[in-house]
Amino acid sequence: MRYDYLIVGAGLFGSVFASEMKKKGKTCLVIDKRNHVAGNIYTEEILGIQVHRYGAHIFHTSDKRIWEYIGQYAEFNRFVNSPVAVYGDELYNLPFNMNTFSRMWGIRTPAEAKAIIDRQIRESGISEPENLEEQALSLAGKDVYEKLIKGYTEKQWGRSCKELPAFIIKRIPLRFTYDNNYFDDLYQGIPVGGYTAVVEKMLEGIEVYTGTEYKGFLEKCGKKGIVFGKILYTGMIDEYFNYELGSLEYRSLRFEQEEMPDCGNYQGNAVVNYTQRSVPYTRIIEHKHFEFGVQPGTVITKEYPAQWQPGDEPYYPVNDERNEKLFREYKKLAQKEENVLFGGRLGQYKYYDMDKVIGAALDMAEAEAQYFA
């Protein structure tokens, strides 16, 4: 038996690509090592609530083409991401805006907020930031950095801000309006009924095997005479090459989920960040608020950053100088592979928002269509 494509990974990238190639008349087989489709955007229903198993995923884009594309598969609600940050007994709105500054300094006007921030930046005396701490102080001043950036960032990366490179923070969005909308994008929302249903619709009519490891599956295919014209690999690029040049670094996450059947509203917001380093988790997600739920119970998830170890799920690439250099070497190997494509955040060692994942997968599918034309 022959398939035009073996697609390794039933996450968003692989599913969009498979759907598009099917539309173009190509045969696809999709496999995933997890026991479900949808990758990190997987949602499951608990207590009548769509729970984001692998962390909060809020869809947002300014690209009308992408919005219309995803709109084929789901109706989106009007959810707008407006997270809250907890620092000790203090509560602040995110992103950093006039609500944040008013709460922090007891002021009312943009001019007052700008004056305080400018003064703190001058007092830092930093002109050439040499690390993330200096970069943040030179962009936002002492108060915003110490209360809302420092502890959260150190938990995320597992090291002191003084040990992190300055380029991780290229800019800090300081908004001098009373607007708690985290994203600037024109189109925002959550798919009604969850993301899993979106991916299942993408994969309709396509053969999918979950709980299936890539290398073991290839061995079975060889014995059974199953062949593929091309492979799209969305797993870790260094793992594909058996780490022959060394391991790329990732950050991982651990999720602690709790069902509360007798609690109708735990925290009053979908996402609450905890910015002190002494609090071990970075945020608590209360899933029902993504869809304005009125269920009698609730489900929360505490999110703990973790150092990635082999066997863990890699969530964020560590795009520092050492890893970028190593990735470029792996990319050279990838370019020599015949009939193998590499896509997604792991295959391309790049952090992608969901809209960018879809855009990249559509572009790859279009390039493949031109190749076969």
As annotated, the active-site residues are: 171, 175, 251, 283, 303, 351, 353
Query: Residue 305: which residues within 8 A CB-CB, separation 6 or more?
Result: 155, 156, 157, 158, 251, 252, 253, 254, 282
| C-alpha span between 59 and 161 (Å, rounded) | 29
Is the distance from CB of 196 to CB of 73 less than 8 angstroms?
no
| C-alpha span between 64 and 220 (Å, rounded) | 43
**203 exposure class (CB count in 10 Å sphere: 0-12, 13-18, 19+):** buried
Reading the block at residue 90, the tokens are: 């203090």
Reading the block at residue 206, the tokens are: 């396509």
Angle (CA) 153-324-53 rounded to 5° is 50
Cα 269 to the center of its chain, rounded Å? 20
